Amino acid sequence: MEFSYLFNKHTHIENTSSGTVMDFAPDLQRDPTFFVGNLNKKLPFREAISALHDVVVSDLRFKPKDRTAYKQWLEEQEKLWLGDFMASYQIEEIKARIAGIKQELSQIYNEKYKVSAPFNQAKKAYFDYLYKHDRDAWFVLDPVITVHPDEVFFECLSIDESTYGKLSCNYNVFNGIDDFKCGTTNIDYSTDLYNEFQKIRGYKDTVFKIDPSGFEVQTTDENTYKETKIDLPDSWVRGFLQVSTAMTLPSIAFHLHPMDIFTLCQFLRRFKEKKGPRALRYILEPGKPIQAVFEPWFETITFHRSIYQGPHSKTIRVWGRRRLLILERLIPIAKSFKVTLLGNGLPSYYVADLGDMTFTLGLSGWTANDWSTAGNFDLMAARGEVDIATQQKIFHALKETWFATPQQLSEKLGIHTSVVSSAMTAYTQAGRVIYDLHKGVYRVRELTQEPLDITQLRFSSPQEEKAHQLLQDKKIRISHKILNDKLVIEGVMQDNKASLKASAEVDKDGRLTDGKCICNFYINNQLKKGPCEHILAAKMLFFRNENHS
């Protein structure tokens, strides 16, 4: 998916002994969005924005070693070893011939090294230059900044698309705010910006500016603008869409003391697993200290500062735990960490309370299970069908205040909360709304200036497309009942000439909390990769009938 950006200049940093000016260049093709203010919380902001950079550069995918050169050397050595072995049984003339071959091979190897050495050195120098001067050639670095009436927040995804970072700063982080206009924009994030952030000091004034003048420049000299077209994969866009939707799912939350996070990170630094299982198991007992078990050693750490306040005992396993090291830099400035777990092998969120700032770290089920390709969590969210007119009415009401809870929008418009939640889910999946896990509100955040190609992004998984096909072919019959204050939808359907039974457990907000099926997809994955097409079809048909009744 191709995105076009237009900047009138590069992001500009002025650093002197008395102050720093950070002038971000916004995208001129987007609606005017700007902000100018002096940093008040200088050092906490430096640490938090640096942690966000750690998210951007994070790539924990398995990278096999390149053993090509070693195998080539080994083959040459085997020839020599074989020659030595055979030479012990041959006459002196053969030994002399082998010695000549050895010398010839040695000369060839030396000549080859001399020829290839300049190329290898030049290649290394080139990539070193790229790493220092054009980091965009190494990874996609496309931060999104949103200005709201109460805060400014930054968002990004990691290189492997398994980690999401969001830094929210309320206006107490700044003083002397000159002007701002709400909206979302992409900024020209220069490669030297991270190093400049490290120069922020408490005794130096720092001006933070998303340049408003960029929207006032009118000139016919097009060369003064920097226009770039970036072909971002659909996975990058879908990753952003999945993250916010997963936040709205039923979850288990508890708080950890900053020193407990330090203990987790310290253990991960000290020990490196060489084989599985590699899970981190949280043991939650009401009224008791939270415990963490590290597999495969099964070492248990008890967090005596953190007491679980939930009503029921839970044991939840999460994977991809080394991504938690991103939180290390936040420990000295954090007041507490709120941990939100969706379930075994499902995403988890760590929200750091930094006073006037909040840092949200979103982790997919495990590192290889990225947000975009395997996390079909939008399929588990409230997904009733809402007509276009009602959706637009709800969205326009949200834009008036820029953020609101579903209950506030329901009271304001006189529309049922479930309808509001379904409309918000639709706009979340369209990239126009984001869910704020810390404050529990929906916020307007236009991910792109132009509407996303919904036909291209309509089906985020084969399961969703198959579910729509089942409904279209009318190959499903459903019944429902209430069990333990939850709606249980049971479906019988014909799929590939076989009769299948599936059930979906839905809470009062229309969110899928559990499901069962006998198909191969469910047996292999349960709900770790989202529901199968049969569970999803049963849920969709029920709410379609409810809306039309």
**Three-state DSSP state, 215:** helix
Do the strands 314-318 and 299-307 form a parallel or antiparallel pair, or are they unpaired? unpaired
- Note the pLDDT tens digit of each residue in 333-342: 999 999 999 8
For domain 246-374, the CATH superfamily is DNA Polymerase III, subunit A, domain 2 (3.10.150.10)
- pLDDT the model gives residue 359: 96
- pLDDT the model gives residue 47: 93
Least confident of 22-31, 437-446, 504-513: 22-31
Choice between 248 and 520, residue whose per-residue pLDDT is larger: 520
Choice between 57 and 405, residue whose per-residue pLDDT is larger: 405
In this predicted structure, the answer to whether residue 481 has a pLDDT above a threshold of 60 is yes
Mean pLDDT (whole number) for 343-362: 91
Least confident of 193-197, 366-370, 541-545: 366-370
- CATH number, span 382-456: 1.10.10.10
320: tokens are 């991809």
Q: How far apart are CA 265 and CA 328, in angstroms?
A: 7
The owner of tokens 């009138």 is: 8
Decide if 83 contacts 98 (C-beta within 8 A): yes
- pLDDT the model gives residue 269: 93
Decide if 351 contacts 438 (C-beta within 8 A): yes
Q: How far apart are CA 73 and CA 78, in angstroms?
A: 9
Mean pLDDT (whole number) for 192-219: 68
Residue in 106, 108, 128, 127 with CA at minimum distance from that of residue 116: 108
* Residue 239 CB partners (closer than 8 Å, separation 6+): 157, 161, 164, 370, 371, 372
Mean pLDDT (whole number) for 66-88: 72
* Residue 109 CB partners (closer than 8 Å, separation 6+): 76
**Three-state DSSP state, 236:** helix
Decide if 337 contacts 327 (C-beta within 8 A): yes
Choice between 91 and 45, residue whose per-residue pLDDT is larger: 45
- Note the pLDDT tens digit of each residue in 126-159: 555 544 554 444 334 457 888 999 999 998 888 7
436: tokens are 């704020």
Decide if 306 contacts 260 (C-beta within 8 A): yes
Q: How far apart are CA 56 and CA 189, in angstroms?
A: 12
pLDDT-derived band at 547, boundaries 50, 70, 90? low
Q: How far apart are CA 240 and CA 229, in angstroms?
A: 19
Please, what's the b/e burial string for 276-297 (b: 16 or more CB within 10 A of its CB; e: otherwise)? eebbbbbbbeeeebbbbbbbee
Decide if 123 contacts 171 (C-beta within 8 A): no
Strand order in the sheet with 314-318: 299-307, 289-294, 280-284, 314-318
What pTM, to 2 d.p., does this model score?
0.69
Decide if 470 contacts 533 (C-beta within 8 A): yes
Mean pLDDT (whole number) for 412-424: 89
Decide if 170 contacts 151 (C-beta within 8 A): yes
pLDDT-derived band at 71, boundaries 50, 70, 90? confident
- Residue 170 pairs with which residues in a beta bridge? 151
Q: How far apart are CA 150 and CA 441, in angstroms?
A: 12
- Note the pLDDT tens digit of each residue in 245-260: 788 778 899 999 999 9
Choice between 472 and 406, residue whose per-residue pLDDT is larger: 406
Decide if 161 contacts 182 (C-beta within 8 A): no
Do the strands 151-157 and 174-181 form a parallel or antiparallel pair, or are they unpaired? unpaired
CATH architecture, range 461-548: Roll (3.10)
Mean pLDDT (whole number) for 511-528: 86
The domain ranges of the chain are 2-59+142-156+166-214, 70-136, 246-374, 382-456, 461-548
In this predicted structure, the answer to whether residue 488 has a pLDDT above a threshold of 50 is yes
- pLDDT the model gives residue 134: 47
| CA distances in angstroms from 308 to 105, 118, 286, 312, 361, listed in the order given | 69, 61, 5, 10, 21
Decide if 430 contacts 452 (C-beta within 8 A): yes
In this predicted structure, the answer to whether residue 268 has a pLDDT above a threshold of 90 is yes
Decide if 471 contacts 463 (C-beta within 8 A): no
In this predicted structure, the answer to whether residue 285 has a pLDDT above a threshold of 90 is yes
Decide if 323 contacts 58 (C-beta within 8 A): yes
Decide if 492 contacts 476 (C-beta within 8 A): yes
The packing angle between helices 417-429 and 388-401, to 10°, is: 80
Q: What is the DSSP letter of 510?
A: S
Please state, as a whole number, how many other Cβ atoms lie within 10 Å of the Cβ of residue 3: 19
Decide if 322 contacts 54 (C-beta within 8 A): no
In this predicted structure, the answer to whether residue 98 has a pLDDT above a threshold of 80 is no
**Three-state DSSP state, 202:** coil
Q: What is the DSSP letter of 451?
A: P
Count of residues making up the chain: 549
- Note the pLDDT tens digit of each residue in 356-393: 999 999 988 766 554 444 445 555 555 556 888 888 89
SS (H, E, C) 47-115: HHHHHHHHHHCCCCCCCCCCCHHHHHHHHHHHHHHHHHHHHCCCCHHHHHHHHHHHHHHHHHHHHHHHH
- pLDDT the model gives residue 142: 56
Choice between 168 and 453, residue whose per-residue pLDDT is larger: 168
Decide if 347 contacts 377 (C-beta within 8 A): yes
Q: How far apart are CA 312 and CA 286, in angstroms?
A: 6
Residue in 504, 442, 430 with CA at minimum distance from that of residue 467: 504
In this predicted structure, the answer to whether residue 272 has a pLDDT above a threshold of 60 is yes
Residue in 330, 429, 357 with CA at minimum distance from that of residue 154: 357
* Residue 201 CB partners (closer than 8 Å, separation 6+): 42, 43
What is Dmax (Cα atoms) for the chain? 103
